[in-house]
Structure 1
Amino acid sequence: MSHTMRKEENALHDNELGRVIPCNALDWTDPFNWMRLGLLDLAKAPLVTLFYGIIFTLVPLGITFLVEQMDNHLVIAPAIVCFMLVAPFLAAGLYDVSWEFEKGHTPSLWHSIKAVHRNSVHEWAFAILLMVVMIFWLRIASIIHALYPPYISDDMSELIPFLAVGTIIGAVLASAVFMISAFTQPILVERKVDLMTAVLSSINAVWSNKLVMCIWAAIIFVCVLIGFATQFLAFLVLMPLLGFATWHGYIETITTKRKRNYM
């Protein structure tokens, strides 16, 4: 690692809701190092990367196609946000690949697919949690759409208030999802802990490293924008890369009793 990590006081350590795994204090350059390490993993596992990259590309393409068939373009944005909400759960296989490299093993597609079963009860509970958030967002989007004046035209100046309200609400929801999911799935993949411990540990790690995690969130946001700009084709590479990088972010952020073995 490029710097010496130090243990930071954890704001939620004594939270009565559950245990919190301590986190390290991060440097603002760390997210860029996670991307570098993720790129190395991507280059060492091209076939597994391609498999997950295809999935992450086909899902938004399929959503867009279905929405267009319904002839209701207003639901494209919330539908894609829904995909981004469940993406951390789908990335479990990518975390397994990076973990296998850390252990000196050769990763395989089947081994990565089985990653979701290591802590299956709580991992499926996490998936359900994300689905609940997804449904909540869709309902809010529907309410905003229903309450908006029916006489509005397609002129962009008249759509700005509608888009502004949706963007603000979406940003608040995305921030909450980022906090609860930043490291929850990697924790559940590697450790036999309950969902509450994993979620609180993720929230605590993000809260304790606000600036660094804002940089990490910005990197994710830029990658998503690039994906949208390329009709999701860039997701073939960018989504697996973010998955690998997230694993390296997790093992550098969440503390362990033993030294981690990675570059």
Structure 2
Amino acid sequence: MTFLDFEKVVSFYRRASGFGYAPFFSPAFERSEGVSDGDDFFLDRRGNLYRVRSDFTKTVLTHRKKRSSTSKLKVWYADFVYRYFGEEMVAEYQLGLENIPRESFNDTLEVLEIITESTLEMFAGPLIVEIGHTKVYEDLLRSVPKDLHEKVLNLIDTKNLAEIEFLSRIKGIDLSRIEKIIKDSIYRRSPDNLEEMNLPSPVKEELLAVSSFLQQRFPNISVEVDLTLARTVEEYSGVIFTVYDISSSKLVAAGGEYSINGEKGVGGSIFLEGKTC
């Protein structure tokens, strides 16, 4: 994680503001009436229960729901989220965007452009932008028994080609298309190979459009296709992306299209300074 540079934070929000994104501010701890799965909580000395902010997307959506709004919401944020890495809670400073609802493919390209341009400014590079698409699996799993879906998806997520081949043999099912998706995501990551990949037409068209946009807009970055990215976060639903800084061998940004509680949006975050709490 890079150290916080205030001038670059200012540059980010100016860039986002130029695309019509408004600032979004929220407290890191919000009062709560009860404990729910997936959230971290603490009690203050007076016995009040607080939920710790671990994800900005959910915070923005909660804010939107409280306002009962259905209008377009475009916001940028710059603040800490609090997450566990192993046994330790870490405060990670993030810069990010949320565009809700996602109304067109241009919304996705807009978020991708702002995140990529800002990441280029903040990190030494060179950068790799990996792109994927969650809807690949809707087609792949049709011939797989439902009781094996979770196991197969976990094997795809870890690119475990050997276990996929073993499962295919012992269960007597054809997993050759899934094997090829994993092999392509390991050995044939160039967007030039997309045309030959056995993917649903809408998925292929969107990935080709994203790769073409990135290559034309940012000729100094490398664009790679990794269709196993679709399993990184369950709420993603559509085009997704990650950005790696080769010089530090670190994931420095991520985002994509999502659907949470019926609300469709697109967003992205840049990961900056992190400190153990």
The TM-score range, normalised by the shorter chain, is under 0.3
Please identify which structure carries the higher helix content. Answer: 1
Higher relative contact order (CA 8 A, sep 6+): 1
Q: TM-score w.r.t. structure 2 length?
A: 0.26
